[in-house]
Amino acid sequence: MTSNSRIVELRKSDNIDYDKIGFPLLFARPQFGYSVSSMIRHIHTNRDINLGPENFTFPDTIQEFFWISDGEAGKKPWIALGLLQNNIYFLYKAQMIRPSTTFVNNGHMNLWVSTRYSDIIHFAMDSSIYKLYIEETNLALN
């Protein structure tokens, strides 16, 4: 599936279970080796996006989750899509290398941000994440 054929209208999960993303978000902190600057992955159309003051703290600035996909340590990533308080969309992906211990020295975290929802869909989601996103969400009703 090419990026041009992707659905860019807002889609959401019917049921958002915050517990599915809580574990990796506990470790999305500088003291655990996951500062925003270490997690951020730039989207070429929004390379210079301003995330706010130096003390910007993801995930504390999450305003709304649209979709959360549960992960499994050492097997599949945790994924979250949503909106930050400053009207910036985000896609967060966390994966543990080994199935034991925690994220400290045992994982990867990536954070893509954009002022345009379509950029997250086109440029931050690889084909496997996009497929899962389509399977687990529905068009949002306003």
pLDDT tens-digit map of 93-108: 999 999 988 899 899 9
pLDDT at 115 over 60: yes
pLDDT digits (tens, 9 = 90+) for 19-73: 999 999 999 998 999 988 889 998 876 556 665 555 567 899 999 999 999 999 9
Give 125: exposed, middle or buried? Use CB within 10 Å, 0-12, 13-18, 19+. buried
pLDDT at 2 over 60: no
pLDDT at 76 over 60: yes
pLDDT of residue 140: 80
Q: Half-sphere exposure of residue 114, counting CA atoms within 13 Å on the CB side?
A: 20
CB 109 within 8 A of CB 90: no
Q: Half-sphere exposure of residue 141, counting CA atoms within 13 Å on the CB side?
A: 1
Q: Half-sphere exposure of residue 79, counting CA atoms within 13 Å on the CB side?
A: 21
Query: Does this model's pTM top 0.75?
Result: yes
Share of the chain above pLDDT 90, in %: 65
Residues 66, 139, 48: CA angle, nearest 5 degrees: 50
Residue 139, SS3 per DSSP: strand
Residues 88, 94, 96: CA angle, nearest 5 degrees: 170
pLDDT of residue 42: 83
Strand-strand pairing, 11-12 and 138-139? antiparallel
Q: Could you tell me the residue ranges of all domains in the chain?
A: 12-47+54-136
Q: Could you give the CA distance from residue 103 to residue 74 in angstroms, rounded to a whole number?
A: 10
Strand-strand pairing, 11-12 and 107-114? unpaired
pLDDT of residue 17: 94
pLDDT at 3 over 60: no
